[in-house]
Structure 1
Amino acid sequence: MRKIFSSRTVVLLIIGFLVVVGLITGSNWFAKRTNTPPFFQRVVNDLTGGIAKVISIPTNAVGNRANSLANLLNTFSENKALKSKLDGYAQNKVKLQTVEEENQSLKKQLQLKNTLTDYQTISAVTISRSPTTWNSQLVIDKGAKSGLKKGMPVLGDSGIIGLITEVNTVNSKVSLISDTSEDTNHIAITVKDSAGDTNGILTDYDADKKLLVMGSVANQATMNKGDMVVTSGLGGLVPAGLLVGKIADVTTDSYGLSKKIYIEPASDLSKITSVLVAKSNVES
């Protein structure tokens, strides 16, 4: 058989092995004397550290991206929760404001009720008001069963707002003083001025200005901005002395032949949630 290793090869292998052992032994002895890792350990450590550094770069990048994404999702969730809370606060604020307005309106109605010594009053609540007839009519939750009759005056929180024009068993239709239709029963009114009273009727309603109009007033009539306007009782439709509002402006008609009076309603006609129906004690 052919020899696998020659004598020279064996000798070289033995010498190489002894050199490696010697280097390891010397390295360990040197490391103990100098408190530094052995040479081969340093080589291995350097290689391991380099590989770890190379691997850590993409790993750290992925980790940072993952943390950023997690933070973004947390921020989004917190933002959504905060918005939900803010919406709840806004809704509660609106509810509180609505309740406060209704409370103020009821207080004014109570004060108004105390001044109506010649009338019995029936409290009612608005149950229907169509946007198409907003300035002309509404429906309340009291009817013939509660003693209501056609023609009875209806008051808001401070003054008259209209008349009962249709009575059903448990509800009634109210024609507002802002109704401009031709078949509306125009209310007779009186302007209270220090120089004397001036009688007239409500003839129109300016929806843009939200003011009632008293037309066909003689030029010589004396009246001023701020004068009080009440029902006159003339015509027999509405009893006298119910507050209508106060004069907001005094102008002349397009021909300059008569005055045109703009009246600010005593009650806000755009916000009618509860009313008082006035019933004369004489009638009752």
Structure 2
Amino acid sequence: MPSLFRRKRLMTVLIGFIILVTLIGYSTRDRSELSVPEKFLQDSVGWVQTVFHSPVQLVDNAYQNIQNMLNVYEQNEVLKTRLDEYKGLIQENQQLNKDNRDLRATLEKTESMRDYTPIQGTVIARSSDRWFEQMTINKGEEHGVEKDMAVITSEGMVGKIQSAGAFHSNVQLLSGFDESNKISSWVVREDEDNAFGLIEGYDSESGRLLLEGINLDEELEEGDVVMSTGLGGVFPSDLRIGTVDEVQNDRSGLTKTAYVEPFADLFDISHVMVVDRDMQPVSEEEQEEGDDQ
């Protein structure tokens, strides 16, 4: 009895093995179509793969989108930083170019005024409440600066030394001048004698200097150049001040007043020169020695 049972089991295993081999051979042969069970199995596997693949693909796409957004954000921050740096460089470059132009112009002006031996200085401070009246430069008595010396830029006169310390000085600007600060001046005209007048104040509304005391007989034109005469013992002669912009008769009717547009921009000053009319002119030998150096 046990022997018969073992035989049946052996036969069952053998038949199953034969069926398996048959199915393997049947499935591996070249066929144009799949069997119904194979189709069912393939479709079932495909459905299962689809069910599991869709959420995985969705999560993967969301992760990729988040990564891309983070990368774009980081790149945007880097670009903003670089843009700010470029803006700073552009502004710095513009300021350096302006300083370079000012220094070159100052140097050229210094060479053309060798008789006065100008003292070059830099503006280091301007108070907010007295911006239009006063500024401080980095030159003082130790550099040869004294009270009442004229202060100019490469464009023209801007004021005078109000007070001098050992290493710094305060400059009173032309825009802060009043009747107590006068500049003896000429109005230079073509083919005619110079017309005399006094710079005696500043019109804050129009931003022009007041040249007063001009003889009624003098005919002035717009654009006539105004320069210092050197009279009065304070300012050297031939310092450029400005140009005539408008002429009116005084209220008294005895003289004329000219409104003078300053050559120099009194509100944007970086580099100046202090000149003293009492300094001795540079001799030809000293000029040659300076040129050799």
Same fold (TM over 0.5): yes
Name the residue aligned to 2:90: 93
- 2-side partners of 1:45 and 1:199: how far apart? 113
Equivalent in the alignment of 1:152: 149
What is the CA-CA distance between 1:114 and the residue it aligns to?
2.2
- Deviation digits for residues 3-54 of structure 1 (CA, Å, limit 9, x no counterpart): xxxxxxxxxxxxxxx9xx9799579637736255554343222112112112
SS in 2 for 1:261: strand
1:160-175 matches, within 5 Å, as 160-175=157-172
Alignment of 1:69-108 (within 5 A): 69-108=66-105
Which segment is superposed worse, 184-193 or 252-261? Answer: 252-261
C-alpha distance in 2 between matches for 1:190 and 1:157: 20
Partner of 2:260: 263
How far, CA to CA, are the matches of 2:25 and 2:205 in structure 1? Answer: 103
Offset of 1:175 from its aligned partner? 0.3
1:193 touches 1:222 (CA, 8 Å); kept in 2?
Answer: no
Question: Is 1:185 aligned with 2:192?
Answer: no
Q: 1:128 aligns with which of 104, 125, 128?
A: 125
| Partners of 2:220 and 2:200 in 1: CA distance | 18
Q: What amino acid sits opposite 2:153 in the alignment?
A: G
* Residue equivalent to 1:112: 109
Deviates more, 1:30-39 or 1:101-110: 30-39
Query: Is the 1:31–1:38 contact (alpha carbons within 8 Å) kept by the matching residues of 2?
Result: no
| TM-superposition CA deviations, 1:220-257 (whole Å, max 9, x none) | 4311122111112333332221111222x214369695
Whole-Å Cα distance in 2 between the matches of residues 22 and 117 of structure 1? Answer: 120
Shift of residue 276 of structure 1? Answer: 1.0
Describe the superposition over 1:144-176 as per-residue Cα deviations: whole angstroms up to 9, x where unpaired.
111211111111122211111111111111101
The two structures have a TM-score, normalised by structure 1, of 0.80
Structure 1 residues 265 and 91, CA, compared in 2 at 3 Å: closer, same or farther? same
Cα gap change, 1:30/1:240 in structure 2, threshold over 3 Å: closer, same or farther?
A: closer
Identity %: 27
Q: Relative to structure 1, is the Cα distance of residues 227 and 202 closer, same or farther in structure 2, using a 3 angstrom cutoff?
A: same
Whether 2:236 is the aligned partner of 1:239: answer yes
- Equivalent-residue separation in structure 2 for 1:63 and 1:233 (angstroms): 87
Cα distance in 2 for partners of 1:147, 1:26 equals 115
Offset from partner CA, 1:93-152 (integer Å, 9 cap, x none): 111111111111112112222222431211111111112211111111111111211111
2:117 aligned counterpart, secondary structure: strand
Give structure 2 stretches of 5+ with no counterpart. 1-14, 283-293
Once superposed, what is the RMSD of the aligned Cα atoms? Answer: 3.2
- Equivalent residue, structure 1, for 2:4: none
Deviation at 1:215, TM superposition (A): 4.2
Whether the aligned pair in 2 keeps the contact of 1:27 and 1:38 (CA below 8 Å) is: no
After TM superposition, list the pairs within 5 Å mapping 1:176-255 onto structure 2. 176-180=173-177, 182=178, 185-194=181-190, 195-207=192-204, 209-215=206-212, 217-247=214-244, 249-252=245-248
How many equivalent residue pairs? Answer: 266
TM-score for the superposition, normalised by structure 2: 0.78
Match of 1:138 among 100, 110, 135: 135
Mapped to 2, the partners of 1:206 and 1:227 lie a distance apart of 19
Whichever residue aligns with residue 51 of structure 2, its letter is: V
Q: Contact between 1:189 and 1:202, CA under 8 Å: does it hold in 2?
A: yes
**Could you tell me how far 1:67 is from its partner in structure 2?**
1.4
Match of 2:291 in 1: none
Residue 118 of structure 1: SS of its match in structure 2? helix
Conserved? CA contact 2:210–2:259, under 8 Å: yes
Q: CA deviation at 1:74?
A: 0.9
Distance across 1 between alignment mates of 2:30 and 2:193: 124
